[in-house]
Structure 1
Amino acid sequence: MNTQYNPRLEYRKRIQQRQTVIFGSISAVMAFLLIVSTLVWTGVIPAPFNREFSKEAEPAYLIPCPSTDIQARDLSTLSARIYNSTNINGKAGEVGQQLATLGVTVTETSNWAGKPLPEPIRIITGKNGVDAAYTLRAYLPGSVIHFDETNNSEILDVVIGKDFDGTQTGPSEADIATALEPIDGCKPVK
């Protein structure tokens, strides 16, 4: 049995052990980072940093002013399409039913194709439906009116946001008068 001490072999053995530990550790860290980055990329876990700078800005909408001689319209003369931007199923149908009970003609209820709303409810109108939108605003607390220059009809698009509490079935005369007042920052569209 030849158990002679060989310093060169001992040195190579220690180097190989160190290399194995170093490269094994680097490989394990890289595998972990690959798994975490894949989960972040697919949206399974949120990103560990704030990406506000890379989000698309909400487009600026024109808020139309009502006519100077605005009067509350009879709800039976209003037509609306109701859209749900929330993840709660049936919200558009529920609000559509409530508005139909009040006399509004509801022509459509479906899901909103755009992004979820930052406000509780949005009423989108063309130039022919501005006064109707202000009238409907009294029955939809927290609503914001947006102008769509491509819409030439009186049909209103009502988009429900996640913070919407529900329709107001019997607003007072003061509530209706307040709803008919111009929204701050509105612009005349006629």
Structure 2
Amino acid sequence: MSDQDRARALRRRHVHERQAVVFGVLIAGLGVAGLGAAAMYTDNLSLPFFERGFSAKPTAAAESVAVYCPPEGALPVPNDQITVDVYNGAGTAGLARQTAQSLTGLGFVVGATDNAPSVSGVGRIVYGPAGSAAAYTLLAYLPDAVLQLADRADARIDLTVGSGFEGLLPPEQVVLDPATPLVGPSGCTPFSELTAATQDGEQADGGEQPADGEQPAEGEQPAEGDQPAG
């Protein structure tokens, strides 16, 4: 082989080596990016500058509001009829996912899982009037959680685990009897006061209805069939 042929062969080998290095770096970078994306998606990695949107964004601190008793005579709701959105307010990576798995194992239906602003204590259960019995049912598995009423129409509830969260109670330690009505904490506000306030607000928004027998305003035509008898 001539010197010229050897030089060409050497150049080709160097080109191939450079290409191999470039492609190797690209493949490695893609692999790292893929692992990072998977970790973020499964809640195993939490970045302080990355904040995802919430389906129902909890507040940072529980407000000092009245705790309403469960509806009178309300029974525990079967776990498989309760939908819970789980939020991580403890700052521990993967805690929302782990808690969601625990809830699923207990038969609850888990909706969204996400990060949340920092929450102190064991956690917070956010619910609307329609989800009162469901919230008290979940509270039996997390007795030290704070109940917080929200303005929502459905029975879905949120569980935000806080910095003091150590796990849900195992079923054998949960004090719930399917045939025994739920009981609220001492001093809780009767649920009837909540429903009464809600009804008063709806009537106020609905406007005033004319009383029976009230004559139509001047110039208003009577409805068909309301002509005076001959």
Q: TM-score, normalised by structure 1?
A: 0.62
Percent identity (aligned): 27
Q: Residue in 1 aligned with 2:176?
A: 176
Contact kept, 8 Å, 2:62 with 2:148, in 1: the verdict is no
2:110, 2:61 → 1: CA distance? 31
How has the CA–CA distance of structure 1 residues 95 and 69 changed in structure 2, closer, same or farther, with 3 Å as cutoff? same
How has the CA–CA distance of structure 1 residues 171 and 121 changed in structure 2, closer, same or farther, with 3 Å as cutoff? farther
Mind listing any 5+ residue stretches in structure 2 that lack a counterpart? 1-59, 196-230
Counterpart secondary structure, 1:83? strand
Instruction: Letter of the 2:71 partner, please give it.
Output: S
Contact kept, 8 Å, 1:64 with 1:146, in 2: the verdict is no
Q: Residue in 2 aligned with 1:44?
A: none
Q: Give RMSD over aligned pairs.
A: 2.4
Structure 1 segment 30-69 matched on structure 2, within 5 A: 59-69=63-73
1:69, 1:179 → 2: CA distance? 5
Q: Residue in 2 aligned with 1:88?
A: 92
Instruction: Letter of the 1:156 partner, please give it.
Output: I
Structure 1 segment 93-132 matched on structure 2, within 5 A: 93-112=97-116, 114=117, 116-132=118-134
Contact kept, 8 Å, 1:83 with 1:110, in 2: the verdict is yes
Counterpart secondary structure, 1:92? helix
2:126, 2:74 → 1: CA distance? 18
Select between 151-160 and 61-70 the one with higher mean Cα deviation: 61-70
Instruction: Letter of the 2:140 partner, please give it.
Output: A
2:102, 2:181 → 1: CA distance? 19
1:172 to partner: Cα distance: 4.2
Instruction: Letter of the 2:102 partner, please give it.
Output: Q
Question: Structure 1 stretches (4+) deviating beyond 6 angstroms?
Answer: none
Q: TM-score, normalised by structure 2?
A: 0.52
Instruction: Letter of the 1:180 partner, please give it.
Output: L
Counterpart secondary structure, 1:176? coil
Counterpart secondary structure, 2:171? coil
1:92, 1:179 → 2: CA distance? 30
How has the CA–CA distance of structure 1 residues 91 and 60 changed in structure 2, closer, same or farther, with 3 Å as cutoff? same
Q: Residue in 1 aligned with 2:28?
A: none
Select between 126-135 and 56-65 the one with higher mean Cα deviation: 56-65
Counterpart secondary structure, 2:137? helix
Contact kept, 8 Å, 1:135 with 1:179, in 2: the verdict is no
How has the CA–CA distance of structure 1 residues 58 and 124 changed in structure 2, closer, same or farther, with 3 Å as cutoff? closer
